Amino acid sequence: MDTNSGIPVSRRNERPTELPALTSLRGLAALTVLLFHSSYVAANFAGGAPPGLWRRGYLAVDLFFFLSGFVLTHVYRGRLIEERSWQSIGKFLWARFCRIYPASLFATAVFVLAGTVGRLPLPAGVSFKEQLIAALFLMQVPWLDHIVINSPAWSISAECYAYLLFPLIVPLIFRLSSRVAAAIGIALLIGIAIVHVLFTHAQTDWGWGALLRALPEFAAGIFAYRAYREGLFAALWEKDATLIFIMAMVIGGCFVGASDGVIVVLLLPLLLAAVCNSGRMANILNAPPLRWLGEISYSVYIFQALPLMLAAGISGTLVAHGLGGSWFTALAALLALGSGVLVHRRVDLPVRAALRRLPDRMMALAAASRGRETRPTPLVPVSVLERDR
């Protein structure tokens, strides 16, 4: 064991294994947010009622923050701790850009189109130019008081700050002793609970409140990964009974009106119980439909506002044909889900792959150019240029 990093030397260069349970968990979280939003659209435009089962669906965004810190640590900790170079940090940030920007930019472009044809009403005093610049650079948080262009992007904007800090804080966290790491992790959870008690979710969806919500939860995900890596309470987390009990606590807490702070704190044990589970629940979480939902979850989440706006626009027609209330909720959610699938397949995946190949292409072209200056050489084979890491 290398005491400076907390990672066995023999394991540093291992390719990170996939954590399929967390892919499914992310998909379920995205679906919960979507149903929460579509229910409120139904309540406002189609005679529906506020959400029932997913009445605290907005807290699924907090699960996203925990998941991001956990999964990114799983994938990148070895490289960032071992290499400790600007090159490794640059690769990490480029990979994050490739992952989040294509679908976000596409959503922004469609919003601009809607604004051009007069289908994007702006509140009084809101500048479309300011909104557009913030959306293009994912700088809505903490600088905008109102997010008009693709409001779900607030959480991605908040996470961008976590991405900038991530390469710096991961090595520090893994240098801490186990006791100090546990103490800081517990303190973070207490602080997260206090934030959710003192502020409503509407107060933490924009401005500095969004950073106060996102950054500690992202960091808590990193500490949770360290506990997972060290096998802390592994015998408890891997049991079906543990996962079922925590799920029941979360759902029950939503129904009985428990504080948001209590429910959010339960989301981190839920993550650990899901990723560690080795019983029958693992088969459910690893089911192909749930994994597929997790794979498309980002596109569904980032693009959902547009199809929900479209559904609101035709709500009168749907209600007139008896498709109000719960029917409208289901139809709006299906419209958003289908739109997200199209964005995932036609925009997110191909553009992401092209962007990831871009550095290799530029290096190959530079090498070919240097070669021509000295001697005639063939171009780099297409198979090398097309390699997608």
pLDDT tens digit sequence for 15-72: 678 899 999 999 999 999 999 999 999 999 998 877 777 889 999 999 999 999 999 9
CA–CA dist 143, 157 (Å, integer):
10
Phi, psi dihedral angles at 314 (to 5 degrees): -105, 15
pLDDT tens digit sequence for 318-355: 999 999 999 999 999 999 999 999 999 999 999 999 99
Cα separations in angstroms, 151 against 230, 256, 300, 334: 38, 29, 13, 20
Cα separations in angstroms, 216 against 66, 165, 194: 9, 12, 12
Phi, psi dihedral angles at 7 (to 5 degrees): -120, 130
Residue 237: predicted pLDDT: 95
Residue 374: predicted pLDDT: 52
- Lookup result for tokens 């001697």: 375
148 within 8 A of 123, measured Cβ to Cβ: yes
Residue 48: predicted pLDDT: 81
Dihedral sign (CA 227, 228, 229, 235):
positive
| Alpha helices (H) in the chain, listed in sequence order | 20-45, 60-83, 86-116, 128-136, 140-143, 153-175, 178-198, 207-229, 234-237, 240-256, 260-276, 280-285, 288-303, 305-313, 315-320, 325-343, 349-374, 382-385
How many Cβ atoms sit within 10 Å of the Cβ of residue 353? 14
Q: Give the residue ranges of the chain where pLDDT is below 50.
A: 1-13, 377-389
The one-letter amino acid code at 213 reads R
CA–CA dist 230, 105 (Å, integer):
39
pTM of the predicted structure, to 2 decimals: 0.89
The one-letter amino acid code at 257 reads G
Domain boundaries, given as residue ranges, for the chain: 9-385
